[in-house]
């Protein structure tokens, strides 16, 4: 008897193309057929997963949502459906902390199917000279290329503004969420000042761009040469995806970049939980992630694929270039209230950057908001 499951992923070729291709491969060898719907990138970050779990069997999720899963029971505890040996292997093969980011309150709520983080990106055909090694070097580079009619840029739409703030704090040695305070005052002020300084000299569209907008522009026009912080997309490092190839690399200072990526999760309402979990383990296995998944435009959550020579040859050495930053990336808090904090905090920082308001007042608002959403 054929089993049919319905999944929800995010609306970008990296988010759906490899899932569709791999699902077809799995269906040809088993009695399981999966169809995948898509939601916007913003909905992926903000829409409550307990609502989606009422409609879909399979969910591609962001790791900060596992606190909601733990409090509502909307997702299966995968450690109750997959063997310890299977989970141990996937943990050993995790790309950076991707697998661990879905472990919360004593249970595994997702499997790392996609690994991402904030990295730097540049146009190798336009940038002549060394890459910035410190955050202060970014400002120097921006001033240099402005004299040539070009720009440094970074996506500063609200969601990305809070992500970049968090990355800067972690890079400066104070990972947000380690206590009831968001960050120490001096670190928070330094991070906000750096964001303000970078925004002041960056491409004028930076406050309106998310990573896809910026990377689309950077790979098609010739006025942006470097970005110090953007969520990375392997698609732009593949020949033929856009007119110009992008090279992704470590952020200045290497450490502290915020972890992104996605996890494979199963609704607690799924009528075929074992089949769903087995399918997820197959999708996240080294063989599939290094094969069909990466070949179809995916950005694997399995480090075996990141170290694979063929995967790197296909992607302008994307995986090897950014793996050092991934291995030292920062995992966001995953308690129930953090998603609410993240969405509102992005607007606070975006307003601060747009209107050049007092950074101390901005940090006070962020700190108060964080404390309101500690649970």
Q: What is the pLDDT of residues 14-29, one digit of tens each?
A: 999 999 999 999 999 9
What is the model's pLDDT at position 40? 83
Non-local (6+) Cβ contacts of 23 within 8 A are 33, 34, 35, 36
Q: Which fold has domain 118-258+337-372?
A: D-Maltodextrin-Binding Protein; domain 2 (3.40.190)
> Quick check: 303 and 294 in contact, CB under 8 A?
no
User: What mean pLDDT do residues 233-262 have?
Assistant: 96
> Quick check: 102 and 263 in contact, CB under 8 A?
yes
Task: Using the predicted structure, report yes or no on whether residue 11 has a pLDDT greater than 80.
Answer: yes
What is the model's pLDDT at position 222? 97
Q: How far is CA 20 from CA 9, 183, 229, 250, 272, in A?
A: 10, 41, 30, 30, 19
pLDDT top residue among 233 and 128? 233
User: What mean pLDDT do residues 172-199 have?
Assistant: 94
Per-residue exposure over 99-122, b if at least 16 CB sit within 10 Å of its own CB, e if not: bebbbbeebbbbbbbbbbbbbbbb
Lowest-pLDDT choice from 108-122, 271-285, 337-351: 337-351
In the numeric block, the tokens 């793996």 are attached to: 323
> Quick check: 144 and 201 in contact, CB under 8 A?
no
What is the model's pLDDT at position 153? 98
Other CB atoms within 10 Å distance of the CB of residue 307 = 15
Summarised one tens digit per residue, pLDDT across range 136-182 is 999 999 999 999 999 999 999 999 999 999 999 999 999 998 888 99
User: What mean pLDDT do residues 51-75 have?
Assistant: 95
H/E run at residue 33: strand 32-39
Rounded CA-CA distance 51/65 in Å is 12
* Bridge partners (DSSP) listed for residue 303: none
Q: How confident is the model at residue 43 (pLDDT cuts 50, 70, 90)?
A: confident
Lowest-pLDDT choice from 120-124, 167-171, 336-340, 366-370: 336-340
Reported pTM: 0.94
What is the model's pLDDT at position 57? 98
In the numeric block, the tokens 């596992």 are attached to: 66
Computed over every residue of the chain, the mean pLDDT equals 95
User: What mean pLDDT do residues 341-361 have?
Assistant: 96
In this structure, whether the domain defined by 3-116+259-320 belongs to CATH 3.40.190.10 is answered with yes
Non-local (6+) Cβ contacts of 361 within 8 A are none
Per-residue exposure over 158-167, b if at least 16 CB sit within 10 Å of its own CB, e if not: bbbbbbbbbb
Q: Where in the chain is the domain with CATH 3.40.190.10?
A: 3-116+259-320, 118-258+337-372
CA contacts within 13 A on the Cβ side of 90: 33
Rounded CA-CA distance 33/163 in Å is 36
Q: How confident is the model at residue 335 (pLDDT cuts 50, 70, 90)?
A: confident
What is the model's pLDDT at position 45? 66
Rounded CA-CA distance 47/333 in Å is 17
């Amino acid at each position: 008897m054929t089993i049919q499951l319905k999944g929800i992923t995010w609306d970008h070729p990296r988010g759906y193309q490899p899932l569709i291709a791999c699902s077809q491969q799995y269906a040809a060898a088993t009695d399981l057929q999966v169809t995948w719907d898509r939601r916007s990138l913003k909905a992926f970050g903000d829409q409550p997963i307990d609502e989606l779990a009422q409609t879909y069997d399979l969910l591609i999720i962001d790791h900060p949502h596992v606190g909601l899963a733990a409090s509502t029971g909307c997702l299966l505890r995968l450690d109750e459906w997959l063997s310890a040996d299977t989970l141990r292997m996937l943990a050993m093969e995790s790309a950076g902390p991707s697998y661990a980011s879905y472990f919360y309150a004593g249970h595994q709520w997702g499997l790392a199917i996609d690994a991402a983080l904030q990295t730097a990106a540049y146009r190798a055909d336009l940038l002549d000279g060394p890459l910035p090694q410190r955050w202060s070097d970014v400002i120097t580079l921006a001033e240099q290329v402005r004299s040539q009619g070009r720009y440094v840029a970074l996506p500063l739409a609200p969601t990305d503004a809070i992500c970049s703030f968090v990355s800067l704090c972690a890079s400066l040695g104070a990972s947000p969420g380690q206590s009831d305070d968001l960050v120490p005052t001096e670190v928070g002020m330094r991070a906000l000042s750096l964001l303000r300084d970078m925004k002041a000299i960056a491409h004028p569209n930076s406050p309106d761009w998310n990573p896809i907008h910026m990377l689309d522009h950077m790979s098609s026009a010739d006025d942006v040469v470097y970005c110090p912080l953007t969520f990375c997309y392997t698609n732009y490092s593949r020949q033929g995806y856009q007119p110009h190839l992008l090279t992704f690399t470590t952020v200045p200072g290497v450490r502290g970049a915020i972890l992104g990526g996605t996890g494979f999760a199963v609704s607690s309402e799924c009528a075929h939980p074992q089949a769903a979990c087995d399918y997820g383990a197959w999708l996240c296995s080294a063989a599939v992630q290094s094969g069909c998944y990466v070949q179809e435009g995916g950005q694997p959550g399995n480090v075996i694929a990141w170290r694979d020579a063929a995967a790197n040859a296909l992607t302008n050495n994307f995986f090897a270039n950014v793996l050092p930053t991934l291995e030292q990336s920062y995992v966001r808090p995953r308690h129930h209230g953090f998603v609410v904090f993240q969405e509102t905090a992005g607007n606070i920082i975006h307003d601060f950057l747009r209107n050049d308001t007092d950074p101390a007042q901005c940090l006070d608002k962020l700190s108060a908001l964080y404390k309101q959403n500690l649970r």
